[in-house]
Structure 1
Amino acid sequence: MVTQAPEIDWAAPWWAPVRTTGEEALARWAAGAPVAEALNAARSAPVRFVPQHALPEGLPYELFIFKQRAVPSRDNLHDFLNGLIWSRYPRTKLRLNELQAAEITRDGVRSTRGPVRDAVTLFDESGVLLAAPQALQDALRERRWPDLFGSLRPLWKEANLWVIGHAALEKLVSPYKSITAHVLAGPAHLETLEQADAWLAEWLSAGRMALKPFAPLPLLGVPGWWAHNEEAGFYDDASVFRGKTLISRPG
């Protein structure tokens, strides 16, 4: 299905890592270029982008990418954002694809994904890397929301957050309170996108991902990310800021 290029508020903080590439590619898409062409022209990536029909019938998407170093891309927002992540986090995306391909090569495509493929897919779609003081990491892992966004709020000035999941970014095009990402904890010293990409690519492994080492984070609760979270009672919504006894699902 072909969709029109959307309007994106590039000034929102979650777009900062991909803004330069994204603005250029979106302009080309809006001018009539297919998404694959717009992505290829905007910035070099470790892969090239090809139309969706380039994917042979019966060949798994992830295996095609691994073998051809080419990403089949539809003319829609989801695949456009996936392309931006490939351009800005090349090492991480290559590593995620490598893990997927290894699982498929060993086990084939089953009716349900195994634990590694499931976790890799989850992170690829809705993953976030958080480099922050240990106190913030602990509060997030334990879902101590009053501490995380209350008493510890000043520490967010020392934190860096990178949204790597393209499905999470897709939701953030039209923000709503319950958008929830799956966070991996990174070392506090990470400051730049390049450092984050390099560290994450090195850290990712089948064994680590099989454990699903994620913590849920309602993204628009992050201080400075949404004006509404300054309002009284914002964090009192238990349907969004859930305790550990409840199952967390993507927003």
Structure 2
Amino acid sequence: MGLDWSAPDGSQPWLVPFAPDGAAVRAACEQGASLPQALTGRIGAAGPRFVAQAELPDGMPYERFIFDTDQVPTREGLHDFFNGLVWMRFPTTKRLLNRLQAAEIAQVGVGPVRGALRDALTLFDENAVLLQAPDELWQALIARNWQRLFVDLRPLWARARVVLFGHALLEKLAAPYKSITGHVYREPVPLLLGDDLAAWDTWLSARLNAVELAAKPFTPLPVLGVPGWWAANEDSDFYADAGVFRPVRSRVETARATGFCC
């Protein structure tokens, strides 16, 4: 069965970084290629090979198979379509995450509980958001001061860039709803990197490490609150929904959210 291409047309703001690759993969699939074939053809020699999910042997951990073979088991669906597109834009970081997963599996094996590091690696891989923004936006985000972040400081978003790294997050946005929430990596992407995603990839892969990731360095972001990403958020009442834009409710919670807490 082929992919349902009705949702990811590339025009949504969160898909713009992936649009050229996505269009090429889509065209190849519409001409008869399987998704693994189309992804492999697009990524070329710089990336892994994408292979059918059936190539993953029974009992073999997915991450270990990628590490051992430089092949990514791929199903015919949007989830793995977006995974392939992230591989194209962030190949060095994806390889780093895979190495860390494989090393942890080699050390502790695969059990019913992933453990702190593998949980964080999976969360990053599936749901991470990268943010490049002025300090004032970062302060409001970490404090979860949604009114200040999205309404009072709204003009500053013209100087910000949000890129979704998590492929599960991209898949959710194929059918958008207000409460979709990503996990922002709490280290700001340096402004000097501009919009060069290859430079972002180099910076990110040099920055991430097992110790930092095990501490889960994330803060939540309802992504459809980003100015320009969703027509409904032009009305400031959009952010009054406490079920989505949950406030930090006490000084202790504020201290914990901002990192100034014992």
If the length of structure 1 is used for normalisation, what is the TM-score?
0.93
- Matched residue, 1:196: 200
- Matched residue, 2:139: 138
- Is 1:218 the counterpart of 2:228? The answer is no
Deviation (angstroms), 1:70: 0.5
> Take 2:29 and 2:62, find their aligned partners in 1: how far apart are those partners?
23
- Matched residue, 1:35: 35
Match of 1:17, as an amino acid?
A: P
1:46-103: CA deviation from partner (whole Å, max 9, x where unpaired): 2110111111111100000011110000111101110111111101101111111111
Name the SS for the 2:110 alignment partner. Answer: coil
- Matched residue, 1:119: 120
> Take 2:100 and 2:138, find their aligned partners in 1: how far apart are those partners?
26
Name the SS for the 1:43 alignment partner. Answer: helix
Contact 1:131 1:189 in 2 (8 A): no
Match of 2:235, as an amino acid?
A: E
- Matched residue, 2:162: 161
- Matched residue, 2:22: 22
Task: State which drifts further: 168-177 or 118-127.
Answer: 168-177
> Take 1:209 and 1:221, find their aligned partners in 2: how far apart are those partners?
26
- Is 1:5 the counterpart of 2:8? The answer is no
| Structure 2 unaligned blocks of 5 or more | 254-262
> Take 2:84 and 2:92, find their aligned partners in 1: how far apart are those partners?
13
Name the SS for the 2:129 alignment partner. Answer: strand
> Take 1:29 and 1:5, find their aligned partners in 2: how far apart are those partners?
11
Match of 1:161, as an amino acid?
A: V
> Take 2:239 and 2:31, find their aligned partners in 1: how far apart are those partners?
41
The percent identity for this pair of structures is 50
> Take 2:95 and 2:170, find their aligned partners in 1: how far apart are those partners?
19
- Matched residue, 1:93: 94
Match of 2:141, as an amino acid?
A: L
1:172-219: CA deviation from partner (whole Å, max 9, x where unpaired): 112111110000132333322112111111111000001101010011
Deviation (angstroms), 1:40: 1.1
User: CA separation of 1:198/1:168 partners in 2, compared to 1, >3 Å: closer, same or farther?
Assistant: same
Contact 2:151 2:236 in 1 (8 A): no
User: CA separation of 1:245/1:107 partners in 2, compared to 1, >3 Å: closer, same or farther?
Assistant: farther
Name the SS for the 2:191 alignment partner. Answer: coil
Contact 1:128 1:162 in 2 (8 A): yes
- Matched residue, 1:244: 248
> Take 1:88 and 1:17, find their aligned partners in 2: how far apart are those partners?
8
> Take 1:128 and 1:182, find their aligned partners in 2: how far apart are those partners?
6
RMSD over aligned Cα atoms: 1.6
Contact 1:51 1:73 in 2 (8 A): yes
Contact 1:160 1:190 in 2 (8 A): no
Contact 1:131 1:190 in 2 (8 A): no
Deviation (angstroms), 1:244: 3.1
Name the SS for the 1:57 alignment partner. Answer: coil
> Take 1:245 and 1:65, find their aligned partners in 2: how far apart are those partners?
43
1:143-190: CA deviation from partner (whole Å, max 9, x where unpaired): 000110011111111111110100111111121111100001323333
User: CA separation of 1:108/1:157 partners in 2, compared to 1, >3 Å: closer, same or farther?
Assistant: same
> Take 1:179 and 1:32, find their aligned partners in 2: how far apart are those partners?
33
Name the SS for the 1:22 alignment partner. Answer: helix
> Take 1:80 and 1:125, find their aligned partners in 2: how far apart are those partners?
13
Name the SS for the 2:72 alignment partner. Answer: strand
- Matched residue, 2:148: 147
Give 4+ residue runs of structure 1 displaced > 6 Å after superposition.
none
| Structure 1 unaligned blocks of 5 or more | none
Match of 2:225, as an amino acid?
A: G
> Take 1:117 and 1:152, find their aligned partners in 2: how far apart are those partners?
36
Contact 2:104 2:118 in 1 (8 A): yes
> Take 2:105 and 2:59, find their aligned partners in 1: how far apart are those partners?
13
